[in-house]
Structure 1
Amino acid sequence: MTGAIVSKPLKVFLIAGEASGDRLGAAVMAGLRGLAGDVEFRGVGGALMTGEGLESLFPMKELSLMGLFEVLPKYFHLKRRIREVAEAAVSWHPDVVLTIDSPDFCLRVADIIKARSDIRVCHYVAPTVWAWRPERAEKMAARVDQVLALFPFEPPYFEAHGLRCDFVGHPVVSEAVATPSDVRAFREDHGIGEAPVVLVLPGSREGEIARLAPVFGAALDQFARAHPEARFALPVAFGAMASIRAQVAQWEIDPILIPAENTRERRAAFKAADIALAASGTVSLELAASDTPMVIAYRMNLLTQYIVSRKLQIDTVTLVNLVSETREVPEFLGSRCTAEKIAPALTRLMETPAAQAEALDLTMQRLGRAGEAPGLRAARAILDGLGMTEASL
């Protein structure tokens, strides 16, 4: 139902700390306005949430910190921001507080809000308790009232501890995919013709790139000797061009580098590719959305790898494998992340690319493709949690 009017404005306090959270927040804000009509928004967000009517308490970029050495110098400032945001929410007393990802910040805010009020708290993006540290589900049940999950297999992990959890779909299903004309233009612009294209995705952070790019380069060099007609395309993450150029200079192949700012060409490369070699992460879902079969490879630093291997609860880290409940996507992790193992897997995939087609399609179906947009589903779940069904709006 759209355009419904409630007797008084719905008050929603939102907190997002990263660009991905800003996108999720903006989508759910649009969904709430469409379903509930008159809605007031306050909190912390970025440009997209501001565009939907949020006046952020302070710039969201203050919270966009990753890694111990980034956070430590800002520790006391972040502590003040946690108190400031919690106090703003408690004093306004909204109908619901929606915290979006960024659990280190958001859940500390939720702790204060719960200690000082009866305000309903909803957290968007379930922590990966199915992968490791399952005890987080029980801890979260004491801190929030509702969780919005991106993956269909997540709700039971939280419901086992009495916490409501709604699967609302993954945002990848709403993202644009390149058209056939975009693909033709990409191939023409780069003189590719009908040659096979291999997409190369060695991560987005400097540490990832430093660990993976040498292995990826060696594997692709081996692959290229067996497939001299192949062309290679490498979409570069924001801020990573210098690192990528330095690494690629050591490779025998010469990939097409696609700047992060060129989103249309990036989408075209995903769709134009015959196969992909990618780091583990959500990029596997972007590849699935473009029907591009893939090989996944990843390695961490030795200490992190040891800790994760001791706590990991699953036998695959590839999201396509998990969502489709198959193991069709080959992955090479840790000590298996070597050129000698990856290169033959790329050749096998090039010979039988259709082998993954069913798993890729099933993944997108299960994530909500062809259904309501995730932002609208999230908005509907929030309203239902407040007891505001469509009949009451």
Structure 2
Amino acid sequence: MVAGEASGDLLAGLLLLGMRRRWPALQSGGIGGPNMVHQGFEAWWPHHKLSVHGFGWELVRRYREIIGIRSQLLKRLGEKRPDIFIGVDAPDFNLDLERNLRGQGIKTVHFVCPSVWAWRPERLEKIRASVDHVLCIFPFEPELLARHGIAATYVGHPLANVIPIEPDRAAARAALGLGAHDKVVALLPGSRQSEISHLALRFFRAAALIRRAQPAIKFIVPAVPGLKSQIEAIAQKAGLQGDLQILNGQSHIALAACDVTLIASGTATLEAALYKRPMVIAYHMGWLSWQIMQRKKLQPWVGLPNILCQDFVVPELLQDAATPEALAREVLAWIDAKDFAPAKIQALQQKFTTLHRTLQRDTATLATDAIQKVLQG
């Protein structure tokens, strides 16, 4: 298995849990993170080695290292001849690897359909050449893939079974030492070092403006292990080092506890939707990466909650629009809605509850059934 970032590690850990229940003698190895290791996975390389933000200088700088890892991994897998290879998301890395392995007669499964419905539809041909089966986390994806001759199964989203339909806000607040009546904003500037570099200062400067408007608001920041010191340094630069509660991980507790989240576009926005939280989605990247993304985008939305609801149910502030002033204004609008327009928040929560139920499936059984068919095929 290969998972290339924190969100992939989380999904892969949940998949491995189901696989171990079905096949107790399962042996697994490759590239992964702590959630996978917890399920007995042997991480030959840590997942953060593959974590790259955008298409610009960082990709150029890391290209040789990443290609070297893929070459070594391909050689090792060719020698070990696993029964099956499962690439978890990370399509830029995994699809080429899967195509090579499939050419050697090794069965390949890709978990999480690349977002060909949102951007880069040219990937469909690569998917068809690279994988025996795709495990899809959104219900509309298998039909789209079938039209292009790609076998796929909708397995639901594993997080929809982990996150309760009605999150326990009181317990989450108690765990973080927050009061029942506190106004709480969760700041999630991303899980990659490069995302932190692009977004954390913007988020913290927005927090300073929010604090100026409403001094009683409390801020919590779940920090990915290993990036806490970077986040603390940026908080100090923003003059907020004493005003933020910076957590070691605990993003789910932070989302359960908060009233609103200011959040980087990505898987975390879906997690926020499953926690039924109002949010402001933001993103910023290098100029070249932004230009490439704009040309390849197929839909007007970037955030997963908006894509899945097919509407701007929450605001998106991207690139030059993601100024501290604009971010603060949109967060304060949700805070004000809690007091003066609760029906707006209730309507959003109802949309997210409907979405949550749509994504709930017996993922472990559906995924392992599909994997079994690939193994027998």
TM interval, shorter chain, is: 0.7 to 0.9
Query: Following TM superposition, by how much is the alpha carbon of 1:17 offset from its aligned partner in structure 2, in angstroms?
Result: 5.3
The match for 1:260 among 231, 248, 271 is 248
CA deviations 1:273-323 (Å, max 9, x no partner) are 111111111111221222211111111111111111111111111111112
Query: Partner residue of 2:353?
Result: 361
Query: Partner residue of 1:351?
Result: 336
- Structure 1 residues 88, 106: closer, same or farther in 2, change over 3 A? farther
Query: Partner residue of 1:270?
Result: 255
Q: Tell me, yes or no, if structure 1 residue 329 matches structure 2 residue 320.
A: no
Query: Partner residue of 1:44?
Result: 30
The match for 1:240 among 211, 227, 231 is 227
Q: Is the 8 A contact 1:100 1:124 kept in 2?
A: yes
- Structure 1 residues 272, 382: closer, same or farther in 2, change over 3 A? same
Q: Tell me, yes or no, if structure 1 residue 101 matches structure 2 residue 89.
A: yes
Query: Partner residue of 1:303?
Result: 288
Query: Following TM superposition, by how much is the alpha carbon of 1:252 offset from its aligned partner in structure 2, in angstroms?
Result: 5.5
Code of the residue aligned with 2:150 in structure 1: it is L
Query: Following TM superposition, by how much is the alpha carbon of 1:160 offset from its aligned partner in structure 2, in angstroms?
Result: 1.9
Q: Is the 8 A contact 2:4 2:49 kept in 1?
A: yes
- Structure 1 residues 280, 41: closer, same or farther in 2, change over 3 A? same
- Structure 1 residues 32, 243: closer, same or farther in 2, change over 3 A? closer
Superposed counterparts of 1:6-21, under 5 Å: 14-16=1-3, 20-21=7-8
Q: Is the 8 A contact 1:83 1:109 kept in 2?
A: no
Code of the residue aligned with 2:273 in structure 1: it is A
Query: Partner residue of 1:64?
Result: 49
Q: What is the alpha-carbon distance in structure 2 between the residues aligned to residue 38 and residue 252 of structure 1?
A: 52
CA-based RMSD: 3.0
Query: Partner residue of 1:113?
Result: 101
Q: What is the alpha-carbon distance in structure 2 between the residues aligned to residue 232 and residue 299 of structure 1?
A: 21
Q: Tell me, yes or no, if structure 1 residue 85 matches structure 2 residue 86.
A: no
Q: Tell me, yes or no, if structure 1 residue 183 matches structure 2 residue 172.
A: yes
- Structure 1 residues 30, 233: closer, same or farther in 2, change over 3 A? closer
Q: What is the alpha-carbon distance in structure 1 between the residues aligned to residue 185 and residue 86 of structure 2?
A: 40
Q: Is the 8 A contact 2:137 2:155 kept in 1?
A: yes
SS in structure 2 of the partner of residue 157 of structure 1? helix
Q: Tell me, yes or no, if structure 1 residue 167 matches structure 2 residue 159.
A: no
Q: What is the alpha-carbon distance in structure 1 between the residues aligned to residue 72 and residue 172 of structure 2?
A: 49
SS in structure 1 of the partner of residue 261 of structure 2? strand
Query: Partner residue of 1:9?
Result: none
Query: Following TM superposition, by how much is the alpha carbon of 1:355 offset from its aligned partner in structure 2, in angstroms?
Result: 4.2
SS in structure 2 of the partner of residue 295 of structure 1? strand
Q: What is the alpha-carbon distance in structure 2 between the residues aligned to residue 242 and residue 109 of structure 1?
A: 34
SS in structure 2 of the partner of residue 60 of structure 1? strand
Q: What is the alpha-carbon distance in structure 1 between the residues aligned to residue 252 and residue 17 of structure 2?
A: 25
Q: What is the alpha-carbon distance in structure 2 between the residues aligned to residue 355 and residue 288 of structure 1?
A: 13
How many residue pairs align between the two structures?
359
Q: What is the alpha-carbon distance in structure 2 between the residues aligned to residue 296 and residue 382 of structure 1?
A: 35
Q: Tell me, yes or no, if structure 1 residue 382 matches structure 2 residue 371.
A: yes
Query: Following TM superposition, by how much is the alpha carbon of 1:82 offset from its aligned partner in structure 2, in angstroms?
Result: 1.1
Q: Is the 8 A contact 2:99 2:130 kept in 1?
A: yes
- Structure 1 residues 176, 73: closer, same or farther in 2, change over 3 A? same
Identity of aligned residues (%): 32
Q: Is the 8 A contact 1:28 1:376 kept in 2?
A: no
Query: Following TM superposition, by how much is the alpha carbon of 1:34 offset from its aligned partner in structure 2, in angstroms?
Result: 4.3
Q: Is the 8 A contact 1:276 1:295 kept in 2?
A: yes
SS in structure 2 of the partner of residue 343 of structure 1? helix
Q: What is the alpha-carbon distance in structure 2 between the residues aligned to residue 136 and residue 197 of structure 1?
A: 41
Query: Partner residue of 1:129?
Result: 116
The match for 1:229 among 201, 216, 219 is 216
Query: Following TM superposition, by how much is the alpha carbon of 1:148 offset from its aligned partner in structure 2, in angstroms?
Result: 0.7
Q: What is the alpha-carbon distance in structure 1 between the residues aligned to residue 6 and residue 218 of structure 2?
A: 32
- Structure 1 residues 73, 124: closer, same or farther in 2, change over 3 A? closer
Q: What is the alpha-carbon distance in structure 2 between the residues aligned to residue 327 and residue 293 of structure 1?
A: 12
The match for 1:288 among 273, 276, 282 is 273
Report the TM-score, using the length of structure 1 for normalisation. 0.80
Q: Is the 8 A contact 1:15 1:99 kept in 2?
A: yes
Q: What is the alpha-carbon distance in structure 2 between the residues aligned to residue 269 and residue 49 of structure 1?
A: 22
Q: Is the 8 A contact 1:137 1:157 kept in 2?
A: no
Q: What is the alpha-carbon distance in structure 2 between the residues aligned to residue 111 and residue 307 of structure 1?
A: 25
CA deviations 1:117-167 (Å, max 9, x no partner) are 3x5322112112122211111221122121111222322332221101212
- Structure 1 residues 81, 204: closer, same or farther in 2, change over 3 A? closer
Q: What is the alpha-carbon distance in structure 2 between the residues aligned to residue 242 and residue 29 of structure 1?
A: 31
Q: What is the alpha-carbon distance in structure 2 between the residues aligned to residue 217 and residue 62 of structure 1?
A: 27
Q: What is the alpha-carbon distance in structure 1 between the residues aligned to residue 205 and residue 13 of structure 2?
A: 41
Q: What is the alpha-carbon distance in structure 2 between the residues aligned to residue 127 and residue 274 of structure 1?
A: 31
Q: What is the alpha-carbon distance in structure 1 between the residues aligned to residue 4 and residue 222 of structure 2?
A: 25
Q: What is the alpha-carbon distance in structure 1 between the residues aligned to residue 295 and residue 319 of structure 2?
A: 13
SS in structure 2 of the partner of residue 123 of structure 1? strand
Query: Partner residue of 2:18?
Result: 31
Q: What is the alpha-carbon distance in structure 2 between the residues aligned to residue 227 and residue 88 of structure 1?
A: 59
Q: What is the alpha-carbon distance in structure 1 between the residues aligned to residue 191 and residue 324 of structure 2?
A: 20
- Structure 1 residues 309, 184: closer, same or farther in 2, change over 3 A? closer
